[in-house]
Amino acid sequence: MLLFLSVPQPRPPGARTRAGAARAARWRRRQRLRLQQLRRLRGLLRGLRGRPGAGGRRRGRMALCGQAAGAASLPSELIVHIFSFLPAPDRLRASASCSHWRECLFYPALWPQLRVCLRVSPAEQPRLEFLMRKCGWFVRELRVEFAAENYLSGGGGPGDGGGADPGTGGEEVEALQLSARWLEVLRTYLELVLCVLVSIRNNRNLQKFSLFGDISVLQQQGNLSNTYLSKVDPDGKKIKQIQQLFEEILSNSRQLKWLSCGFMLEIVTPTSLSSLSNSIANTMEHLSLLDNNIPGHSTLITTVELERFVNLRSLALDFCDFTAEMARVLSDSNHVPLQRLSLLVHNVSVMHKSLDNMPNDEHWKALSRRSPSLRVYIMAFDIKSEDMLKILKPSIPLERIHFDSYITCVSGAIVDLISRQYDKFLTHFILMNDVIDTSGFPDLSDNRNEDPLVLLAWRCTKLSLLAIHGYTVWAHNLIAIARLRGSNLKVLEVTEESIDFDQGELADQDVDPVHNLIEQVSLGLGQPWHAVMDIESLSVFTEPNRHFYREMQSFSEDI
């Protein structure tokens, strides 16, 4: 038996009345227009397919499409979809095709995140203004880095006296040292910061906001606010405007999960976080506040303020600001277990702040019990050994540590202490020393049979990165390190000038000591290895604040 079903054709809405007939006619016209557009698009795509042997037929199809078959006739949705597969530079090149494609370039769907690294230069300002005007109101993730390092070359920096007479008065020497070039750097920096903050002040979609101001070259004299800043912004109006804009951004945010502000000149104040609503503070997942210019008795976040951030999973602070009370708050059952903690121990902070309020070993034990997966990253900049002995508590779940120094060197006893206390956690160990010493690099082995670096490689079985510059590393010890850790040591970077050879190795005329070192280390690691010829080729070679900021970002994102 066959059963036939009659399927009624779709009837236009309201076709039975006179008014309904008019609506039906408009509905039919829209349907015909959509069908024509679909046919044109289908013909264009078939023509662009370019199958072999179909040249004449393809030209015929393109001819049927007529004038509307150009790239400008593609629907905006299709252009945006095509742009979504292209990296940002290719999108910019493709947008030069026509005005229609240019209009599609800055669709919000194409720019969910924006990462910008800017030289503090007047030439960057119009580009930044254009980009932020287009994307600032909708971008969800914004990361901006300001760098003044390109102004180091050519003189004119803070230490350039400009030919001043040593016998002149102190005020005259200081006035001569305030080079017009450096004043322009700081003036441009403030304008660029204002441009960024103004463009996102009303962005309620912002979820991740990161700012880094690499102006450390301007801070070498210590008190920047009383010298350069007082010349550029004598009334403090721009600084106040920047601070107010930053607080306005925080108060207007509705989806903010990640807030990071590192070494931005006087942007964050001790009262900035109070602008965040309780609902946003309760859902914040990452918080990073770092500034070396805060007065000795001030902190960017207090213990009372930290109690609002119950959902915090990663935190980055100056070590002197991380107190025992904060450790107690983070250990409380009301808070989500902390996963990542990044701490910067800077000699400037240690000089002006006290270490008396830092967590003791019991606080670290309580924090580790509350957060079993907690891992800590510490960077110590020009810290004395006696201070490091106070800081390195046995119960810290230390995963990464970075020593950087221009004045103070790390002792072998500190390296030995780290290898004994953190053998279960340590994965990254970095030793950087730029001390100018004509007597040569310091030797951590201190004429002992047991080298601290070899013991570190032996005890710390999870070690995956070891970078050394400015400390003597004996060739036979380097071979031992490579053999102990093998292929698990993913990165072994040692500058050529840091490597030294025994007299017996140099006296052997039959073996080239350098070639033998390269061969033995490569065999131990299971991959080709060479010493780093130039310090600037080191993966960790950068300004210390910048390296800490970038390492902290990746460390916190790796949850």
| DSSP letter string, 445-502 | TTT-SS-HHHHHHHH-TT--EEEEESSBEEHHHHHHHHHHHGGG--EEEEBGGGEE--
Q: What is the pLDDT of residue 529?
A: 95
CA pair distance 402, 466, nearest whole angstrom: 10
**Range 411-427 average pLDDT:** 94
Compute the mean pLDDT over every residue in the chain, rounded to the nearest whole number.
82
131 or 73, which is more confident: 131
Residue 359 token pair: 């967590």
Angle at 417 between CA 411 and CA 418, to 5 degrees: 95
pLDDT at 298 over 50: yes
Percentage, residues of the chain above pLDDT 90: 46
Q: Which CATH architecture has domain 328-558?
A: Alpha-Beta Horseshoe (3.80)
Half-sphere exposure of 417 (CA within 13 A, CB side): 17
What local confidence, expressed as pLDDT, does residue 172 receive? 55
Region 321-334: what's the mean pLDDT?
A: 94
Tens digits of residue pLDDT in 101-139: 888 888 888 888 899 888 888 888 998 998 899 889 999
- For residue 177, the model assigns a pLDDT of 53
Rounded Cα gap, residues 115 and 131, in angstroms? 11
Residue 301, both tokens: 């976040």
Nearest C-alpha neighbor of 294 from the set 219, 236, 235: 219
Closest CA to 217 of 156, 275, 272, 270: 156
The domains of the chain are located at 74-110, 111-150+178-284, 328-558
CB contact set of 248 (below 8 Å; sequence gap of 6+)? 201, 275
pLDDT confidence of residue 215: 67
Q: Do domains 74-110 and 328-558 have the same CATH topology?
A: no
pTM for the model: 0.81
The angle subtended at Cα 231 by Cα 229 and Cα 237, nearest 5°, is 65
Q: How far is CA 230 from CA 85, 169, 177, 234, 238, in A?
A: 48, 20, 14, 5, 11
Beta carbons of 428 and 401 less than 8 angstroms apart: yes
Where residue 97 falls among pLDDT bands split at 50, 70, 90? confident
Which residues, 6+ apart, have CB-to-CB distance to 25 below 8 Å? none
Q: How confident is the model at residue 336 (pLDDT cuts 50, 70, 90)?
A: very high
21 vs 203: which has the higher pLDDT:
203
231 three-state secondary structure = helix
Q: Reply yes or no on whether the pLDDT at 361 is more than 80.
A: yes
Q: Does domain 74-110 have CATH number 1.10.3210?
A: no
Mean pLDDT of all residues in 499-519: 81
**Residue 98 and residue 105: Cα distance in Å, rounded?**
11
The pLDDT, as a whole number, for residue 37 is 65
For residue 298, which amino acid is it? Answer: S
What is the C-alpha to C-alpha distance for residues 80 and 65, in angstroms, rounded to an integer?
22
**Single-letter amino acid, residue 334:** N
> What pLDDT does 462 receive?
96
184 in helix, strand or coil? helix
292: left (phi over 0), alpha (psi -120 to 50) or beta: alpha
Most confident region among 29-33, 267-271, 440-444, 462-466 by mean pLDDT: 462-466
Of the candidates 283, 190, 284, 275, the one whose C-alpha atom is nearest the C-alpha of residue 228 is 190
**pLDDT of amino acid 66:** 46
Sheet holding 258-262, edge to edge: 113-119, 141-147, 208-214, 258-262, 286-290, 314-318, 340-346, 375-381, 398-405, 428-433, 465-469, 491-494
Q: What is the mean pLDDT of residues 407-426?
A: 93
Residue with tokens 């891992």: 375
pLDDT in tens, 131-167: 899 889 999 999 999 876 544 343 344 344 434 444 4
Least confident of 28-37, 423-432, 539-548: 28-37
Residue 527 has pLDDT above 90, yes or no: yes
Output the pLDDT for position 502: 83
Task: Give the model's pLDDT for residue 439.
Answer: 66
